Homo-oligomer: A and B are copies of this chain.
């Protein structure tokens, strides 16, 4: 099994104009990405927001499906959503992983823009075959803030199809990237 963690962060991300913002939590991001994480054997899926009301919202969605009526109605969804941890910051994610693994993870980020230093999926797929813990961070809104991207250990190539259109939702991009890295 891969030693991979995934985080979806709502800060620091940029809006359409490139300003750094905190975005709102989207219900279906939690559902879709937790289900993909569960499918591909991701160890934990962190939902990152510094806003307390947004943390409460995320926890309410998760509780409905893990302890509420949703849990009995749809056990498969419970198994996915119970992999979610809601935290304040990426620093908290990294500390949580260190606590669990006894070492810090290497971080990888994704971006719709191409960077000179970005690496391909085959390469990162082989890196993941080592026992080293890795954290893959997805940004919401118009993507991760530049300063955050430049601090990551790895930047993954943008996902391109057979056209020049690259505006996938983060839900779809996360699924495709996990499939490229861990699909059989």
* Chain A residues within CB distance 8 Å of chain B: 1-2, 16, 28, 31-32, 35-36, 38-41, 73-74, 76-77, 79-80, 159-163, 165-169, 171-176, 178-180, 182-184
Q: Are A182 and B168 in contact (CB under 8 A)?
A: no
Interface SS of chain A: helix
Rounded to whole Å, the gap between the CB of A168 and the closest CB of chain B is: 6
Report the bound CA distance from A77 to B41 in whole Å: 31
Q: Are A161 and B40 in contact (CB under 8 A)?
A: yes
Which among A16, A40, A41 has the highest number of chain B CB atoms within 10 Å? A40
Rounded to whole Å, the gap between the CB of A57 and the closest CB of chain B is: 17
Contacts A28-B28, A39-B166, A166-B39 known; A159 to B179 CB distance under 8 Å?
Answer: yes
